[in-house]
Amino acid sequence: MKRQIAWLLACLMLIGTIGCTAAQPVTAEDPTAAPAEAAEPTEAPVGKPAEPEPAEEPMPETFVFTDSVGREVELPCEITKVAISGPLAQIVVFALCPDKLVGIASKWDKTAEQFLDTAYYNLPELGQLYGGKGELNLETLLNSGAQVVIDVGEPKGTIVEDLDGLTEQTGIPFVHVTATIATMGDAYRKLGELLHMPEEAETLAAYCDAVYAQIKDVADSVEKANLLYITGEQGLNVIAKDSYHSEVIDLFGNNLAVVESPSSKGTGNEVDMEQILLWDPDVILFAPGSIYATVGGDGTWQNVTAIRNGAYYEVPMGPYNWMGFPPSVQRILGMLWMAKLLYPEAADYDLYTEVDAYFKLFYHCDLSEDAFNAMVANSIGAQAEALAPAA
């Protein structure tokens, strides 16, 4: 009986062992395990497999700019600090990017205080590359952090050698942008390319193109007055015909100042009173700071037709001479004024409205009517008529 019980217990233990073993997962090490069923293959996605996103290329740090005289200059892609080579460039560039300027070529006229933020007219003076008011202050320039120096205007004969030499000497790229009164729009587009400001530059360019076209239509439709533009404390300098400074004068008048060698200086060519009497203009425009206020009572000047008839005027000033000196973009104001002064029927626009629009765009400020009237007080004939002797 005991043997039967022992045998029975042994069978029960064997059955229990087989049950536990069957409940365990089949492993690869178990040679008796049945092969696992192969998983059904999953279907490939319909269409092309997704392409990996291309890695972003790093933005270039520099680019090559070709200036107006064909020089290829390497410049930073992000330009935040700009220097200028002289007053002409100062006026042009200020309109586009005043907050990028690291300095000014020369102090603004005192009239600028009523128009400009002090942050602009108190910038350090850099001097100028060309002209008679000193040289470019290289020490101040190097300390300014400027990334580029911009020259604007008429290219000098040595412009390529000059700018290449200064670029090598300072390590700061110098570039030139040619600008005349007729091509000022293209000059702004070139500056927009240089400074990566195409939209801002196009606003100024389109304005320049539109005003020039409008005013040229006036000039082409009238019989031009015989005139002189006189400068100097003695009134014995003239802006000669076909000089860079005479562009506006030649456009709107028959400039009688024909000389053998027109001066490239803003002071013009020196002449004598005998020559002025020989020219005998019907209209005289006096530069600010000349002898406008005294000629009406001068016996010698009374022999000139323009003075005798009261047809003489002082060019408006604020914050620069509207006719030039320097011969920059502000000459658009001179064109608007000169056309309205000499040919009011053909120039059918309100001068204050036009000048205010210019101030908004190029000086970034509003112009009150009182400020406008003060600038043109000697420029619309009223004072000239009062000074002229009775007939």
| Domain boundaries along the sequence of the chain | 62-213, 221-387
- CA pair distance 250, 377, nearest whole angstrom: 24
221-387: same fold as 62-213? yes
- Asked if 227 contacts 281 with a C-beta cutoff of 8 angstroms, the reply is yes
Tokens 């740090």 belong to residue? 61
Please count the other Cβ atoms lying within 10 Å of the Cβ belonging to residue 14: 10
pLDDT tens across 244-265, in order?
Answer: 999 999 999 999 999 999 998 8
Please count the other Cβ atoms lying within 10 Å of the Cβ belonging to residue 198: 14
Supply φ then ψ for residue 152, to 5 degrees.
Answer: -130, 140
96 has pLDDT over 60: yes
* DSSP designation for 126: -
29 has pLDDT over 70: no
Q: Please name the residue ranges forming H helices in the chain.
A: 2-23, 87-96, 118-121, 138-143, 159-170, 184-195, 198-220, 247-252, 273-279, 292-295, 305-308, 331-342, 351-358, 369-375, 382-387
- Amino acid letter, residue 241: K
- CA pair distance 41, 43, nearest whole angstrom: 6
Average pLDDT over residues 91-98: 97
CB-based burial label for 235 (10 Å; 0-12, 13-18, 19+): buried
Cis bond upstream, residue 344 (ω within 30):
no
Q: What is the dihedral of CA 91, 95, 99, 105, to 10 degrees?
A: 0
- Apex 229 CA angle, 226 and 235, nearest 5: 125
Q: In the chain, helix, strand, coil percent, each to 5?
A: 40, 15, 45
Please count the other Cβ atoms lying within 10 Å of the Cβ belonging to residue 134: 11
Question: Residue 100 to residues 95, 172, 263, 356, 359: CA-CA distances in angstroms?
Answer: 11, 16, 33, 24, 19
- Apex 220 CA angle, 215 and 225, nearest 5: 95
Closest Cα partner for 329 from 232, 141, 229, 201?
A: 201
- Asked if 235 contacts 295 with a C-beta cutoff of 8 angstroms, the reply is yes
pLDDT tens across 149-195, in order?
Answer: 999 999 999 999 999 999 999 999 999 999 999 999 999 999 999 99
200 has pLDDT over 80: yes
Q: For residue 140, what pLDDT is reported?
A: 93
Lowest mean per-residue pLDDT among 127-131, 350-354, 381-385: 381-385
- CA pair distance 144, 14, nearest whole angstrom: 97
25 has pLDDT over 80: no
- Asked if 96 contacts 204 with a C-beta cutoff of 8 angstroms, the reply is yes
What sign does the CA torsion over 172, 177, 178, 179 have? negative
- Asked if 89 contacts 150 with a C-beta cutoff of 8 angstroms, the reply is yes
Higher-scoring residue by pLDDT: 25, 286: 286
Q: Which two tokens stand for residue 108?
A: 């603004």
* DSSP designation for 47: S
What residues are paired with 122 via a beta bridge? none
- CA pair distance 86, 327, nearest whole angstrom: 11
Closest Cα partner for 332 from 376, 368, 375, 362?
A: 362
Tokens 């037709």 belong to residue? 305
55 has pLDDT over 70: no
5 has pLDDT over 70: no
Q: Which two tokens stand for residue 308?
A: 């005798």
Average pLDDT over residues 209-217: 97
Q: Kindly report the CATH number that applies to the domain delimited by 221-387.
A: 3.40.50.1980
- Amino acid letter, residue 166: L
To the nearest 10 degrees (0 to 180), the angle between helices 198-220 and 331-342 is 20
- Asked if 388 contacts 296 with a C-beta cutoff of 8 angstroms, the reply is yes
Q: Kindly report the CATH number that applies to the domain delimited by 62-213.
A: 3.40.50.1980
